[in-house]
Amino acid sequence: MAAKSETVASDHVAAHPRAGQVRLLLVAIALAGLLVAPMFLYPIFLMKLLAFALFASAFNLLLGYTGLLSFGHATFFGGAAYFTAHAVKVWGWSPEAGILLGVAGAAVLGLVMGAIAIRRQGIYFAMITLALSQMFFFFCLQAPFTHGEDGIQSVPRGHLFGLIDLNRPMNMYYFVLAVFVIGLLIIRRFVNSPFGMILKSIRENEQRAISLGYSVQRYKLGAFVMSAALAGLAGGVKALIFQFATLTDVTWQMSGEVILMTLLGGIGTLLGPIVGAGLVVTLQNYLATSDVPVTIITGVVFMVCVLLFRRGLVGEFFATKIGKKLGFRAES
């Protein structure tokens, strides 16, 4: 009766005892890199990257950690951009209040869309979110405050807490970086919380979770609203970075783009969506000035990834010996 024989030892590589310290070191290096990055790279590009990385991370909260594929996340991203832009420009709100309004607005939209869509599963869930986000797109096209095709232009960045002038690129950059880090910490806590544990159990065996008395739809709705709110955080920040809010951010293509980013990087990991967003935004940035159509290139990259790296770039890395030694684990 050897206990050892019971465990499947096959693809199990134990993490190195000091893996935790090494991981912490890697995070510190990445953070240090982000702190000095604007001295070498164009700040607007970096800020765009951070905003989309946060957006993709928020989306992954739903796809990777709850197992729900939403095809309507542009609603929360673009919707929050409109709310923030309107509050800051028309009502003269401070940037932090404007962003919070964007987050709240996205959460309300998430509550409505989630409450309707959550009763269905798989492709039906995705289709309902797509349909609702298309409805929101037409609302944004028609509503007076969004200014239709023009969007809300020349949004003032203002002064953070009335003190820090966000019109200075460096101030704005560090503000965006702070929001990004806070957003990630929220996601990390959410995933590793008592609530996150129930989400995980629902993803593992929904029937069993029901039979233990959990109303799984409420938990899914909770995750949906949280994901929408964080996507709204990214959207609100984006409106301040570019100083405008447009229809582009509420299109279905934007919903598709965030799915692409998340799958490219690897779902169910905190790092995956960040890497995926970085890759897509960088590609777009460098190809924007060339004659090569961006969508074709990103499409090819996506196909290659689906064919070669099923788990996404980060997921594949975590599955290697080095990744396992470092104690990385993707949620399957």
Partner 1 sequence: MSASLAIQAEPRVVLSARGLGRDFAGFTAVNDVDLDVEHARIHALIGPNGAGKTTVFNLLTKFLQPTRGSITLLGQDITHTRPDKVARMGLVRSFQISAVFPHLTVRENVKVALQRPAGLAVQFWLPLSALDRLDARADHLIGQLGLARWRDHRAADLSYGRKRVLEIATTLALDPEVLLLDEPMAGMGQEDVAMVAGIIRDVATERAVLMVEHNLSVVADICHHVTVLQRGEIIAAGDYAAVSADPRVRTAYMGSEA
Residues in the chain: 332
| Cβ nearer to partner 1, comparing 34 with 216 | 216
Please tell me whether residue 245 adopts helix, strand or coil conformation.
strand
Does position 210 interact with partner 1 (CB under 8 A)? The reply is yes
- Candidates 21, 167, 205, 248: give the one binding partner 1 (CB under 8 A): 205
Instruction: Report CA 55 to chain centroid distance, whole Å.
Output: 3
Judged by beta carbon, residue 182 or residue 197, the one nearer partner 1 is 197
39 near partner 1 (CB under 8 A): no
By beta-carbon proximity to partner 1, the closer residue of 17 and 194 is 194
HSE-CB of 3 using CA atoms within 13 angstroms: 0
Site residue total, partner 1 (CB under 8 A): 30
> Considering the rule CB under 8 A, would residue 214 count as an interface residue with partner 1?
yes
User: Which span sits near partner 1 by CB under 8 A: 204-212, 275-283, 286-294, 304-312?
Assistant: 204-212
Sort 239 into a burial class: Cβ within 10 Å, 0-12 / 13-18 / 19+.
Answer: buried
Minimum gap (Å) between residue 194 Cβ and partner 1: 5
C-beta of 2 vs 163, nearer to partner 1: 2
**Sequence-distant (≥ 6) Cβ neighbours of residue 137 within 8 angstroms:** 74, 75, 247, 250, 251, 252
| Residue 182 in contact with partner 1, rule: CB under 8 A | no
Q: At its nearest, how many Å lie between partner 1 and the CB of residue 3?
A: 5
CA–CA separation, 266 and 322 (whole Å): 17
Stretch that binds partner 1, among 15-23, 115-123, 191-199, 245-253 (CB under 8 A): 191-199
SS (H, E, C) 141-192: HHCHHHCHHHCECCCCCCEECCCEECCCHHHHHHHHHHHHHHHHHHHHHHHC
Residue ranges binding partner 1 (CB under 8 A) = 3, 6-8, 189-190, 192-198, 200-201, 204-205, 207-216, 222, 226, 332
